[in-house]
């Protein structure tokens, strides 16, 4: 772990026992530096992430089924898109599987809620990113009573079983719930109304959703309590400071990749023989 | 068009009437600057590309069905992967649809050769990238007699009809055939044998393919002659100099996006009303 972290984000952001109601969305848990120090460190660590991702991709191309899947949850304006653009955008697109999950299509609605998720799972060697995920089915669905409790209630256990299955298939899940304060959200929504280049990001329904914040808070809390497992733990990310969110997720991804203990795939051919052949080709 | 181009790549790389046999793979057609000037310009133009791509994405999110699809063809080591990593890697992954086409799977073989291509077509607003494409079905397939001539022969016309259909659906195709010299290819293959971090990119079959270069040259020539249309022209890219290849493709993409005359999508709500609502939310 690089300097300036007194506690790595894998620990400082862990969901266990955390109450969202007590969260300081402007905080930088575990990080002792300021914004400039954070940005310097981000540059440095981005290069590390990029190297590790290339190794993951190389191993995937060589038949390794393992992969890493970043699952991003958060209210509108929490900065999920910025993470994809700036953190995931720093690695080779060839090794990235990006999927975002909005309102289900008519076809998706006719299937089990995990159907569209399974279809979007990353291949071996890929860094997958889910912008929203199967967790929508215990968040917005619960808050807005889109299905009755007897339908969403069993989903927590079902999701745990599903994620256990992913682990068994070689997927390391990095689950991050991003939280902005209501004030910061208002600022970001206001910006979307003030800048013509941001109108397209604005949806009047985002304002309505603010009224549901207590209900979302409860739904998020239950989600964290019931689906943060030892094999797929949740990380709770204060997201008012974009630089911190990017730095923290970069570190979480580095940590996940480090745990795979990746090396470059060995040559599956006789190097000297191929050199001789090439010399005469 | 920025300084240093005496002729924009949309013209200097055009396939019409070009003989691959006469191509200087180390050339920089239309560009008068050296490597350092090229790299400086690349930095500048990458920012332009990134802005245009965001506008394309914004319009897609707002219902615009148009998109841009970069089709990359080239022998091994031509640098297709580097283009994806460095040029496509410079824009927001949320707006990128990347697909690569290797040896068809058993399932793909049971379908028409355009089946897997159609499945991978980018959505509206996306910048699609095909690393190899339906053109494999008139290149490697023709060179290695994987199917008889009466099967591949009608494909040229079929591909033209298919690409006409893509145009009608709002897709701007940017087709680029990348060529490295046999000497440069040998150097790049040698590097893959000399560096343990590159072994995974090496395939002994790549050496065998060098013997087929004359046959490939012929197959590429026929492809250019028969499928470079006014609505989906081919660009022939000398690719020995990686910086030039990146710069040229960046310009070709900027040109394609410019022709869409994109603006930020207008607000589809009453801005003042939403500001008032937000103030009280």
For B184-228, the pLDDT digits (tens) are 999 999 999 999 999 999 999 999 999 999 999 999 999 999 999
- Burial class of residue A197, CB neighbours in 10 A (0-12, 13-18, 19+): middle
Q: What is the distance between the alpha carbons of residues A87 and A126, in angstroms, rounded to a whole number? A: 15
Residue A172, pLDDT > 50, answer yes
Q: What is the distance between the alpha carbons of residues B224 and B236, in angstroms, rounded to a whole number? A: 9
Residue B159, pLDDT > 90, answer yes
Q: What is the distance between the alpha carbons of residues A174 and A258, in angstroms, rounded to a whole number? A: 13
CB atoms within 10 A of CB B50: 15
What digits encode the pLDDT tens for the residues B104-126?
999 999 999 999 999 999 999 99
Inter-chain CB pairs, A–B, below 8 Å: 114
Residue A1, pLDDT > 50, answer no
What average pLDDT does this structure show over A9-16? 96
What digits encode the pLDDT tens for the residues B60-83?
999 999 999 999 999 999 999 999
A48: pLDDT confidence band, cut at 50, 70 and 90?
very high
The beta strand positions in chain A, using DSSP E, are 67-74, 96-100, 127-131, 171-179, 234-238
Q: What is the distance between the alpha carbons of residues B56 and B105, in angstroms, rounded to a whole number? A: 33
Task: State how far residue B198 is from chain A, nearest Cα, in angstroms.
Answer: 8
A62 contacts B204? CB cut-off 8 A = no
Task: State how far residue B150 is from chain A, nearest Cα, in angstroms.
Answer: 32
Least CA distance to A274: which residue of chain B? B204
Nearest to B281 among A62, A196, A210 (CB): A210
HSE-CB of B143 using CA atoms within 13 angstroms: 21
Residues of A in contact with B99 (CB under 8 A): none
Chain A residue set in contact with B, beta carbons under 8 Å: 58-59, 61-62, 81, 84-85, 88-89, 91-94, 96, 98, 100, 129, 131, 186, 189-190, 193, 196-197, 199-202, 204, 207, 210-211, 264-269, 271, 274-275, 277-278, 281
What digits encode the pLDDT tens for the residues A14-29?
999 899 999 999 999 9
* pLDDT at residue B1 in the model: 47
Residue B160, pLDDT > 60, answer yes
B3: pLDDT confidence band, cut at 50, 70 and 90?
low
Residue B268, pLDDT > 80, answer yes
pTM of the model: 0.95
Residue A2, pLDDT > 70, answer no
Residues of B in contact with A200 (CB under 8 A): 58-59, 61-62, 264-265
Least CA distance to B100: which residue of chain A? A94
Q: Is the ipTM of this complex over 0.85?
A: yes
Q: Which two tokens stand for residue A33?
A: 């530096």
What average pLDDT does this structure show over B10-32? 96
Residue B2, pLDDT > 60, answer no
What average pLDDT does this structure show over A122-130? 98
B100 contacts A199? CB cut-off 8 A = no
A3: pLDDT confidence band, cut at 50, 70 and 90?
low
Say if CB B116 and CB B101 are below 8 A apart: yes
Least CA distance to B207: which residue of chain A? A278
What digits encode the pLDDT tens for the residues A78-116?
999 999 999 999 999 999 999 999 999 999 999 999 999
Q: What is the distance between the alpha carbons of residues B147 and A171, in angstroms, rounded to a whole number? A: 39
Task: State how far residue A154 is from chain B, nearest Cα, in angstroms.
Answer: 32
A277 contacts B202? CB cut-off 8 A = no
What digits encode the pLDDT tens for the residues A238-272?
999 999 999 999 999 999 999 999 999 999 999 99
């Amino acid at each position: 772990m690089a300097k300036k972290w007194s506690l790595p984000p894998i620990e400082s952001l862990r969901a266990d026992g955390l109450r969202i109601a007590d969260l300081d969305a402007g905080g930088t848990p575990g990080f002792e530096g300021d914004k400039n120090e954070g940005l310097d460190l981000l540059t440095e660590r981005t290069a590390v992430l990029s190297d590790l991702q290339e190794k993951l991709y190389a191993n995937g191309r060589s038949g390794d089924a393992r992969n890493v899947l970043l699952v991003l949850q958060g209210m509108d304006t929490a900065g999920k898109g910025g993470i994809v653009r700036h953190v995931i955008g720093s690695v080779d697109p060839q090794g990235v599987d990006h999927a975002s999950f909005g309102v289900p299509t008519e076809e998706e609605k006719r299937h089990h809620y995990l159907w569209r998720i399974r279809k979007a799972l990353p291949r071996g060697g890929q860094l997958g990113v889910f912008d929203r995920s199967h967790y929508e089915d215990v968040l917005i669905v619960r808050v807005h009573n889109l299905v009755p409790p007897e339908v969403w209630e069993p989903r927590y256990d079902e999701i745990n079983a599903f994620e256990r299955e992913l682990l068994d298939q070689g997927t390391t899940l990095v689950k991050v719930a991003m939280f902005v304060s209501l004030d910061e959200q208002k600022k970001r929504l206001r910006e979307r109304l003030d800048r013509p280049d941001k109108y397209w990001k604005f949806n009047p329904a985002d304002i309505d959703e603010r009224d549901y914040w207590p209900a979302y808070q409860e739904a998020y809390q239950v989600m964290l309590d019931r689906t943060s497992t030892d094999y797929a733990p949740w990380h709770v990310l204060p997201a008012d400071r974009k630089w911190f969110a990017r730095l923290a997720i970069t570190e979480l991804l580095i940590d996940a990749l480090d745990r795979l203990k990746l090396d470059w795939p060995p040559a599956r051919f006789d190097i000297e023989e191929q050199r001789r052949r090439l010399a005469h080709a």
